[in-house]
Amino acid sequence: MGEHTGEGTRRGATAPHAPHAPQAPHAPHPVGDESDPAERGRRFLLARVPAPGSVTAARRITDRYVDGTRLRLRRVERLDTGECSYRLGREQPACPDAPADLQLSEQEYARLLAALPGPELTRTRLGVPPLGVDVFEGPLLGLVLAEAEFENPEDEETFVPPPGCVAELTTDDHFTGGHLARTDREHLRAGLAEYGVALP
C-alpha cells in the first residue's frame, strides 16, 4: 500500500476530500451482505463509521485468502441472530457472469480452513443504503470502506456517492480484500495519508 502513485485525479481514485458534485443519483443494486467489492461496482473510502441510526443490517465477515490461489474461504455471521453461512469462492471471477461462490456446510468449511493456509481478513459489514460499509479490525482498525453494486454499466458510471465519501478507490488494488489481508498497519497508515485520512 505504500506504493501508491498518488494519481488522485484518475477515475476510481479522486483527490482527497473531493467527492463528486451532488446530482440526482441512480439507484444502485443493494450490496450483497456476503459480496466482496463487486465486479460491477465502485468502492469508496470513508473518514468514519456511519451513525448507528443509519445502519439497517450488520454481519461479521471473516475471509481466508488461500496462499498461491485466487480462492477465498468466507464465514459470515449475522450479528442479530448469530446465524452463520460459509462459502468457497474466487476473489476475482474469470468473467463477471461466472458464479463466484460455492455454498459450504459448517463441517466442510472447518475441514478446508484446517487444510488451506493463508492470511485472514475480518470486518463488520453494515448495510447503510445505498452502500455496504466495511469496518475493519486488527491491524486495519480505523479503515472504513463503502461499496455500491450495479446491475448495468450506465448506473455504475452515473452513480453519485453520498456525502461522507472521502475518495473513490475502485481502481486502487491496494484496497482489495486479498491485498488488505496482507497489509500491516504502517503500510495502511501511509496509504490512507495519501487520501488525507489519518489513523488514530
CATH of the domain at 49: 2.40.320.10
Cβ neighbour number for residue 24 with a 10 Å cutoff: 6
- Separation CA 119–CA 179 (nearest Å): 10
For 49, the enclosing helix (H) or strand (E) is: none
| Of 64 and 23, more confident | 64
pTM, rounded to two decimals: 0.77
Range from 33-42, 111-120, 164-173 carrying the lowest mean pLDDT:
33-42
Does residue 15 fall inside a structural domain? no
Full domain range(s) for residue 63 = 41-193
- Residue 187 sits at φ, ψ, to 5 deg, of -70, -35
Number of domains in the chain: 1
Does residue 16 fall inside a structural domain? no
Q: Confidence class of residue 18 from pLDDT cuts 50, 70 and 90?
A: very low
Burial-class residue 63 by CB neighbours within 10 Å (0-12, 13-18, 19+). Answer: buried
Q: Is the pLDDT of residue 152 over 50?
A: yes
Does residue 84 fall inside a structural domain? yes
Does residue 25 fall inside a structural domain? no
Q: Are 138 and 122 in contact (CB under 8 A)?
A: yes
Q: Look up residue 77 and give its three cell numbers.
A: 455471521
% pLDDT > 70, the chain = 76
Q: Is the pLDDT of residue 44 over 60?
A: yes
Mean pLDDT score of the chain: 82
Q: Is the pLDDT of residue 24 over 60?
A: no
Answer whether the bond into residue 22 is a cis peptide, omega within 30°. no
Q: Is the pLDDT of residue 50 over 90?
A: yes
Does residue 21 fall inside a structural domain? no
Q: Confidence class of residue 119 from pLDDT cuts 50, 70 and 90?
A: very high
- Separation CA 105–CA 98 (nearest Å): 22
**pLDDT for position 130:** 87
Residue type, 195: Y
Mean pLDDT for the stretch of residues 26-35:
45
**pLDDT for position 10:** 34
Q: Cα 117–121–124 angle (5° rounding)?
A: 145
